């Protein structure tokens, strides 16, 4: 695609806006009706506390079923998303910009009532809009679910396009299965996500909204778009190796996150059938947490790699997601390391001595 057709494709359209608004309307309406476990968020400046409703899995399955039925009855086209990828991208970008501006002004208004607002300099304005004012990322009942759901919807539309074009390949099938399992697993364990950094520490600013609505769905699906335009021949050995990378990645990712979750609830719960090794009564040094201090990141990186391997190695483009994730998680691990060093002091030093590897044993 040359530059002028790219710019042409990026022009937002009303059709894209309707698709986007339909998606958000569904999330806002169905999200308030469909029941799910309520998990409390952190306490806000005014002493109130929002609650997360963990109903993502039902919302997602219901949405896919509704879209499937509508496509069967010719109400919607299954390729509606994949045929307007770039214009949807720019429309979502503009939407994120406008929503965060509105949130910024709403946040200023409520904070000026509580008189805790900083003096208005240009630096403050940009900082508050970029990083946000309010904790607990939620807007009209829509929270961080939207990005993960959007990612699956884009993938499914890309799959429909490859079927329509008669180009469905083993690579596309593998990519689709791995991503769908990862996204479904995310929603099955949605409760775990309410204790992650994005939810407890990030504010609802442009950075988070852009990351969730634009970055996740549109960049994590690059492999699918790439496979629409490129042919890859996979041998049986490559397919088996690819499945192994996915399975090992999943085992480490889910296993490590689960062990920490279980440990936080019950520090005496056995890990891999044995009593856990605990440092200073607070840090787990058994199981995956005894192999590397962030084994969960290693699992996530292997999963990310498994989404790209079906595209072969002829181009670096489908490797955008694992490369981005590698940079992000190395940076995040370093920030988490200094946070834990401050929080846990000498017991963290002891943990570091016992478990010297950060993410990948004997390498990093
Ligand atoms: P973690 O779930 O790894 O949480 C780190 C925190 O866990 C530390 O701050 C500390 O918090 C606690 N902790 C660390 N070591 C121990 C230990 N040995 N024993 C007990 N507690 C410990 O971090 P994230 O929230 O960053 O990641 C969660 C998941 O999300 C990961 O699997 C990651 O791969 C994934 N992720 C995916 C991204 C993507 O784009 N695909 C982006 C970012 C994350 P405390 O103060 O509570 O003790």
- Average pLDDT across each block of 10 residues of the chain; the chain has 364 residues. List them in order: 82 90 91 82 63 86 95 92 92 88 71 56 69 58 78 96 95 97 93 65 74 92 95 93 97 94 89 92 93 95 97 95 95 91 93 95 91
Q: Where are the alpha helices (DSSP H) in 140-280?
A: 145-165, 170-188, 190-193, 197-200, 206-210, 216-219, 222-229, 236-265
Give me the pLDDT at residue 142, please.
58
Burial classification of residue 75, based on how many CB atoms lie within 10 Å of its CB (0-12 exposed, 13-18 middle, 19 or more buried)? exposed
Query: For 217, how many CA atoms within 13 A lie in the half-sphere containing its CB?
Result: 30
| Residue 199 CB less than 6 A away from ligand 1 | no
- Ligand 1 lined by 272 (C-beta under 6 Å): no
Nearest to 152 by CA among 248, 54, 247, 65: 65
Q: How far apart are the first and last CA of the chain?
A: 39
Does ligand 1 lie within 6 Å of residue 82's CB atom?
no
Residue to probe by mutation, ligand 1, list 190, 195, 197, most atoms within 8 Å of CB: 197
Is any ligand 1 atom within 6 A of the Cβ of residue 343? yes
Ligand 1 center to residue 293 CA distance, Å? 10
Give residue 116's pLDDT.
Answer: 52
Measured in angstroms, how far is the CA atom of residue 196 from the centroid of ligand 1? 7
For strands 37-43 and 49-54, give the pairing.
antiparallel
Q: What is the pLDDT of residue 32?
A: 85
Give residue 196's pLDDT. 65
Please report the pLDDT score of residue 278 as a whole number.
93
As given in the structure block, the two tokens for residue 352 are 């570091």
pLDDT at 191: 78
- Residue 78 tokens, joined: 């299954």
Report how far ligand 1's centroid is from the alpha carbon of 164 (Å): 41
């Amino acid at each position: 695609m040359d530059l002028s057709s790219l710019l042409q494709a990026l022009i937002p359209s009303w059709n894209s806006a309707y698709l986007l608004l339909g998606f958000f309307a569904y999330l806002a309406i169905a999200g308030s009706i469909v029941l799910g476990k309520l998990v409390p968020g952190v306490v806000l400046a005014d002493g109130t506390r929002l609650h997360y409703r963990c109903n993502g899995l039902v919302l997602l399955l219901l949405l896919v079923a509704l879209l499937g039925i509508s496509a069967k009855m010719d109400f919607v086209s299954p390729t509606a998303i994949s045929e307007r990828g770039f214009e949807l991208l720019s429309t979502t970008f503009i939407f994120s910009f406008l929503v965060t501006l509105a949130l910024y002004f709403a946040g200023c208004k409520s904070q000026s009532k509580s008189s805790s607002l900083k003096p208005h300099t240009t630096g403050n304005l940009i900082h508050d809009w970029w990083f946000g004012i309010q904790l607990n990322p939620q807007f009209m009942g829509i929270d961080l679910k939207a990005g993960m759901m959007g990612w699956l919807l884009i993938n499914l539309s890309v799959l429909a396009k490859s079927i329509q074009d008669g180009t469905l390949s083993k690579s596309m099938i593998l990519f689709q299965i791995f991503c769908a399992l990862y996204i479904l697993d995310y929603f099955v364990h949605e409760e775990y996500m309410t204790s992650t950094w994005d939810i407890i520490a990030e504010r609802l600013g442009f950075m988070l909204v852009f990351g969730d609505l634009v970055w996740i769905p549109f960049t994590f699906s690059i492999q699918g778009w790439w496979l629409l335009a490129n042919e890859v021949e996979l041998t049986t050995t490559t397919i088996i190796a690819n499945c192994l990378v996915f399975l090992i990645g999943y085992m480490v990712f889910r296993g490590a996150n689960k062990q920490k979750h279980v440990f936080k609830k019950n520090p005496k719960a056995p890990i891999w059938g044995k009593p856990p090794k605990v440092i200073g009564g607070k840090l787990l040094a058994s199981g995956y947490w005894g192999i590397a201090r962030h084994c969960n990141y290693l699992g996530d990186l292997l999963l990310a790699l498994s989404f790209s391997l079906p595209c072969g190695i002829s181009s670096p483009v489908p490797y955008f997601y694992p490369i981005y994730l590698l940079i992000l998680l190395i940076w995040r691990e370093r920030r988490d390391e200094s946070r834990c060093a401050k929080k846990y002091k000498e017991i963290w030093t002891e943990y570091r001595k016992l478990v010297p590897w950060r993410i990948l044993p004997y390498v990093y």
